[in-house]
Amino acid sequence: MNTKGDIEIEFGASSDVGRVRENNEDSFRVAPEINLFVLSDGMGGQSSGEIASRLASETVIAHCREAAENPALPFVGTMTEGASEFGSRLASAFNLANHAVHQAAESNPALRGMGTTLVAVVFTDERVSVAHVGDSRVYRLRNGRLELLTQDHSFIAEQVRQGHMTEQEAQNSNLQNVLLRAIGVDEEVEVDLNEELFANDDVLLLCSDGLTKELSDAQITSVLANVEDADTAARRLVKLANDAGGNDNITVIVLRNAPRLVGSFGKLGRWFRGS
Amino acid sequence: MAKLVLKFENSVLTETPVGGKEVSIGRSPDNGLVIDNPAVSHYHARVFNEEGRLMLEDFGSLNGTFVNGQRVKMVSLKPGDSLAIGKHTIIVTDSREAADPFWQGGVPKAAAPKINETVMLDTKERREFLQKVASVGESSQVAPARVKLATLVVRKGKTDKREYTLSDKLTVVGKSSMATVKLTGWFAPKAAAQINRREDSSYYIGGADRVPTVNGQPVIHPTKLSAGDIIEVAGIQLEFLYRD
């Protein structure tokens, strides 16, 4: 254990229906033994959003677990240039998840039109591969600064990127919930894949839009920077979002690279990677 | 119901209601709203209802469509918005603003999704929009004659090589086993800095265990690299450039 290059990750996760919705269409799944964390936010009538988000998250976990057992497992879809093997595997899992959700929607009239956002991170040494589709996000807190590592695939975000709308106008727009990309809606999907460094003391946050529509960057930063363990931070974020209105389902996964805190928190959400 | 009031200078020319059917705007006489002026394209733009919201789309017109002074491709409209097409102005009005669900972000049809429900842009609209976005991106980029390779050249300091091609999405500068630019000094940090290649093939540098400088300026936020930039971090100096 603790050989050079290994990291130790502490994680906490929490999901809540919020104070307005009746169903929780968010899902999260973790596979700590392969350093994989997945979050999704479903959409669709009746309970199909829940089905889409669960199916997507579970497909990603299953494909990556299978690849860990059998490295010769074929990749699904186009490869991303310059990505690591684990990053490519994650993109492959997203393509498979898209196929699974799309097939399910096509084969059952009650599920037609369902879809989901999907965001996942996988760690290899100090590299973290970040894949996403939709408007669920990944943030990184480093040296007290919060950085957004993903770009929302939403109509509004695209308007801002093209300079047709200011941030202010975007915040007030009534088209907040219009997505340009989602898992399961079309036969194929374009997956964004980025690779980042997971440095000492970095904190990563995966979240559904139910969090970011209620809390400011400053509020999120304050929780991530000041709360000592990831599990408490995750619960605190969900509570704050509920206090601020809880208009949507809220789901978060908090991941901390905390090598100096070995042994401090024995309980939930802690494991060691390495030989 | 929403109405489009066409004005030239201070006089009202026409009033066109927007119902379930879209209103196309242009110079050709078969448009729903005809503006007979050479500055206006034959088929210039359209106004339509999308999921209960009033939307404007410019058809890639030569002189553009401006909403409240900003050139737009596709935007949602609200009462009081002022559209400029050539020298003409179109004011968006509504007689029953408060009561009309079009302005509530709500939905008039019972079968449509609930307020605040996440939805996809309708498939055809989405494809067209994404295509348009992609073509805007393409036309604004100058296509390189040859593929140029982003490269770091070591100007000062101890590293394992003198030059590195940045072909990966992530390049780490440090002593770590996963670092590409490997520092060999005794007290070198595990991960001093990182360089990311983004979707559009641009490169950004960010600090990790150290705060790098680019041309003498400390890197607080991830910073885009340009050819000729000098990076200093953890006692080494690197030049970012493109090789043929």
B168 touches chain A (CB under 8 A): yes
Q: In what order do the strands lie in the sheet with B82-85?
A: B11-18, B2-8, B88-94, B82-85, B65-67, B70-72
Q: What is the pLDDT of residue A271?
A: 41
Q: In what order do the strands lie in the sheet with B23-26?
A: B33-34, B23-26, B45-50, B53-58, B74-76
Rounded to the nearest integer, the mean pLDDT of chain A is 88
Q: What is the pLDDT of residue A266?
A: 38
Q: What is the pLDDT of residue A131?
A: 97
Q: Is B21 exposed, middle or buried (0-12, 13-18, 19+ CB in 10 A)?
A: exposed
Q: What is the pLDDT of residue A101?
A: 96
Size of interface A-B (CB pairs under 8 A): 118
Q: What is the pLDDT of residue A7?
A: 67
Q: Residues B1-12: pLDDT tens digits? A: 788 988 887 778
- Region A144-166 average pLDDT: 90
B residues 42-61 near A, CB within 8 Å? Answer: 51, 53
Closest residue in A to B166 (Cα) is: A82
Length of chain B: 244
ipTM tops the 0.95 cut: no
CA distances, B96 to each of A212, B1, B93 (Å):
33, 7, 9
- C-alpha dihedral sign at B133, B102, A249, A113: negative
- Region B70-89 average pLDDT: 85
* Chain B residues inside the 8 Å CB shell of A44: none
Closest residue in B to A181 (Cα) is: B120
pTM for the structure as a whole: 0.72
The angle formed by the CA atoms of residues A170, A174 and A179, to the nearest 5 degrees, is 80
Q: Residues B83-92: pLDDT tens digits? A: 988 888 898 8
Distance CA A123, CA A64 (A): 12
Residue showing tokens 């904190």: A203
Pick the residue of B97, B169, B223 with the most A CBs within 10 A to test the interface with A by mutation: B169
Q: Which residues pair with A253 in a beta bridge?
A: A13, A206
Q: Residues A225-251: pLDDT tens digits? A: 998 899 999 999 999 999 999 999 999
Pick the residue of A3, A155, A169 with the most B CBs within 10 A to test the interface with B by mutation: A155
Q: Residues A2-16: pLDDT tens digits? A: 333 456 789 999 999
Closest residue in A to B102 (Cα) is: A174
